[in-house]
Structure 1
Amino acid sequence: MSSLFRYRFASRVLSADTTWGNIGYDGGTNGGGVGILGEWAVMQTNFVASQVPCRLVVANINTGQSFTATPFKTSISSTSYSFSKAALDVASGHIYAQDTGTGVVVAAHIASTGIVSDWKIANVSNGFIFLQGPDNNRQVIMPNSTSTGDQLIWRDPVSGAVLAKTPVLTSTPTQSPITPGFAGRVYYPAIQSGKLIEVVPTRSAPESSDWFLGLRPI
């Protein structure tokens, strides 16, 4: 697969919309799931591992205008792949995407000239990236795999800076935490122990702006 198509569902019939697309994205392997960000369809390549760097692909769902970018790495010495689709913030217009194989997470937005990178960090995310919090207090949450195991990290959506992180939750990465939970809770299935861990962001004191993460096995 190397193209995006649009289908219409009308009168209980699903049919190809020949008035839109197809949007080609040759190079690498097929993309994963497509997400909608306002008027844009967003996806990234290399759902199946590839030696070609992962790319972001966006297409306007009305006009079919499209852009592609390689914000992760332009050349790689390791295999590139990403099993999950990007996290999309409709309020800010930001895209948060990962290349698990090369260990890079990027934030980007769509401008009139194409896809613009906002920040890029080293983070090996084997699970889905997701967003929590209201529009004016958003957090980007992602797993991070190290030599000692897997943890969850809360990051600032504008800078990518670490806001909070858990200790190592399991030595074997979990494909995806369970979210959303009430009051910012995240549920993490620890494969090795077989436990479901509830991660609860809590203020260190009522008047403090600092947060720590309480862990509770379920």
Structure 2
Amino acid sequence: MDNQQAANGPIPGDVALYAQELACQQAIPTPGYYPSLNGAEISDAQRSGMFPCASFTGSWDGPNAVFAFRSVDDYPGISYINSRKPGELYIVGGEYPTPDDPRMVGPYVAKADATTGRQIWRTYLDNLNVSGRWIANANLNILPDGDIVFAWSHFVTRIDGDTGLIEKVTSLPSGAAPVEDVNFKHLTIAPDGTLILKDQTRPVGCTLQGTMAIIACTRQGMASPNSVLVAVDPETLEVLDSLALSEPAPSPHIIAPRDGKAAIYIGMEKTLGRWFWDPETRKLSIDESWQVKPLAEWQTALAAPTLVGDWIAIQTNGLVSDKSASSVVVVHADDASRSESVFPFGQLQPHEVSFAPPKNGADPENNMIYSADMGMGKVAGIRIDPETGKLETAFILDNVTSTFQPVIGPADKRVLMLTSMKLAYADEPILEALQKSNYTEQLTWRNAATGELLAGSDFFEPLTINSLTPPGFGGRVYFPTAVGKGFYTLQAMPAPTKAPSSN
């Protein structure tokens, strides 16, 4: 019986866990964000991908079954899903062009019932066919008062989390880039509540839509303008300060407190650097002493950084390389001259490519880093020595995934969630498969220490590229599919010893 037939309807999850999970999350400080299981794009200002209060409701010792339910309503071009209170979902869509709808209308933000996926409201913010703007993936964050803060193109807005009303909109500076070639996808909140935004830039002359335009046009030899870092007041949306970066920065930044300031770590095309936001002076500044060049010969752009204790981890080959495999590099936060690296998958073999766009997953409490290279078709668990930074590959999985490697649950029972793609043709180049969306994809739950498979779903329509599989309350996980209808709600449970009777 397939996952949807087995569920035969909406999945509320284990409702007895709701209050426990919410209380657990509210005990963890999340300055700037609503204290929910998934109030930020990826869990917190560090974009850690750790969800310690989310539950795995399957068995660690025996076989598991996975149940699935398709959302009642459709959300075209769906990308990101966040939770506020139990029962509430917020959805971003309309900014992922598909083969069937290359001129997608959006972005929009919607509120939905967390169990059925039935829409409560939907607020559209743009239509590229009318405005002529570049529309690409844009993330979603929930403020402490429950409102939504959202940025797209060269705008940032506040949206009433209860009604969907657009409260304020501010235009952001585009720096050296033409305004039609910027996308302020990267919005993260400093500990004092200030919004820190950075733009992606589309290569000049490129007319493609969606985030993949950066990759496609770069491969044609086009160059992206440099990015801009901007600080914005969360209440008034006033631009407080801005700073031009020295390179394009296609990947998101992270924020960590440091000496009374907010340290902003950014992986640009070639440089991993640190900037500061000072809440007293309300100014942005560069830390000239902490600018690192982690790329080895023939490697391409850096992915987003990851905080692992005293170390900043970065994945290489954020763009495609056919000459060098990807590596993971860690740099000490106190001393940029201290670094270690590892090539978890070895070197490229003839005719192989390396493509590792997602940031490293991490579990600092267990000294683990996770690396995914979809070009090489592998995922690795990597141990880090917290004192020396020495990296050692703990396990390698044959697993093709385009997305992040979140971990859920308490430190002593951490579960790693990975999607796994099944190509229509085994020898099809991965970039062609992505462009055509002619593959299927499943979600797996794994022992985060060993990679051992605990549960695996059916194969569904492809997960939206650049999207996430965020946990929901009661052991549920959400799986957005831009080329299908809406999203799936999934839950792993111990496999029944006897199939249910239809009588």
Instruction: State the TM-score, normalizing by the size of structure 2.
Output: 0.39
Q: Take 2:341 and 2:320, find their aligned partners in 1: how far apart are those partners?
A: 19
Higher relative helix content: 2
Residue 134 of structure 1, CA deviation: 1.1
Partner residue of 1:107 out of 381, 394, 402: 381
**2:321 aligns to what?**
50
Gaps spanning 5+ residues in structure 2: where?
Answer: 1-268, 425-439, 498-503
Indicate the percent of aligned positions where both proteins have the same amino acid: 25
**C-alpha deviations, 1:123-148, integer Å up to 9, x for none?**
00122221111111110011101136
Indicate whether 1:186 and 2:454 are aligned: no
Indicate whether 1:135 and 2:411 are aligned: yes
Partner residue of 1:146 out of 422, 436, 450: 422
Matched AA of 1:92: N
Q: Take 1:24 and 1:196, find their aligned partners in 2: how far apart are those partners?
A: 37
- The answer to whether the 8 Å contact 1:23/1:59 transfers is no
Q: Take 2:408 and 2:376, find their aligned partners in 1: how far apart are those partners?
A: 25
Q: Alpha carbons of 1:22 and 1:102: their partners in 2 closer, same or farther (altered >3 Å)?
A: closer
Q: What's the secondary structure of 1:19's corresponding residue? A: strand
Deviates more, 1:155-164 or 1:20-29: 20-29
Q: What's the secondary structure of 2:289's corresponding residue? A: coil
Q: Take 2:398 and 2:371, find their aligned partners in 1: how far apart are those partners?
A: 12
- The answer to whether the 8 Å contact 1:132/1:184 transfers is no
**1:158 aligns to what?**
449
Q: Which structure 2 residues correspond to residues 11-22 of structure 1 after superposition, within 5 A?
A: 11-22=281-292
Deviates more, 1:88-97 or 1:70-79: 70-79
Higher relative strand content: 1
Residue 99 of structure 1, CA deviation: 0.5
**1:5 aligns to what?**
273
- The answer to whether the 8 Å contact 2:360/2:372 transfers is yes
Partner residue of 2:488 out of 185, 197, 208: 197
Q: Alpha carbons of 1:24 and 1:192: their partners in 2 closer, same or farther (altered >3 Å)?
A: closer
**C-alpha deviations, 1:156-194, integer Å up to 9, x for none?**
112111100001122x34323341311231111123331
- The answer to whether the 8 Å contact 1:126/1:174 transfers is no
Q: Alpha carbons of 1:192 and 1:24: their partners in 2 closer, same or farther (altered >3 Å)?
A: closer
Residue 87 of structure 1, CA deviation: 0.8
**2:300 aligns to what?**
29
Q: Take 1:33 and 1:192, find their aligned partners in 2: how far apart are those partners?
A: 26
**1:69 aligns to what?**
342
Q: Take 2:381 and 2:454, find their aligned partners in 1: how far apart are those partners?
A: 16
Structure with max Cα Rg: 2
Indicate whether 1:118 and 2:405 are aligned: no
Matched AA of 1:200: Q
Compute the RMSD of aligned alpha carbons.
Answer: 1.8
Q: What's the secondary structure of 1:6's corresponding residue? A: strand
Residue 113 of structure 1, CA deviation: 6.4
Q: Take 1:184 and 1:82, find their aligned partners in 2: how far apart are those partners?
A: 29
Deviates more, 1:87-96 or 1:110-119: 110-119
Q: What's the secondary structure of 1:177's corresponding residue? A: coil
- The answer to whether the 8 Å contact 1:2/1:26 transfers is no
- The answer to whether the 8 Å contact 1:35/1:41 transfers is yes
Matched AA of 2:292: N
Q: What's the secondary structure of 1:17's corresponding residue? A: strand
- The answer to whether the 8 Å contact 2:356/2:372 transfers is yes
**C-alpha deviations, 1:63-118, integer Å up to 9, x for none?**
22111211123123321111210111021010011101010100112233621111
Partner residue of 2:360 out of 71, 78, 86: 86
**2:12 aligns to what?**
none
Q: Take 1:9 and 1:127, find their aligned partners in 2: how far apart are those partners?
A: 29
Q: Take 2:493 and 2:398, find their aligned partners in 1: how far apart are those partners?
A: 26
**1:174 aligns to what?**
464
Q: Alpha carbons of 1:134 and 1:12: their partners in 2 closer, same or farther (altered >3 Å)?
A: same
Matched AA of 1:42: A
Q: Alpha carbons of 1:190 and 1:4: their partners in 2 closer, same or farther (altered >3 Å)?
A: closer
Residue 50 of structure 1, CA deviation: 0.6
**2:22 aligns to what?**
none
Q: What's the secondary structure of 2:474's corresponding residue? A: helix
Q: Take 1:22 and 1:162, find their aligned partners in 2: how far apart are those partners?
A: 37
Q: Aligned residue pairs: how many?
A: 205
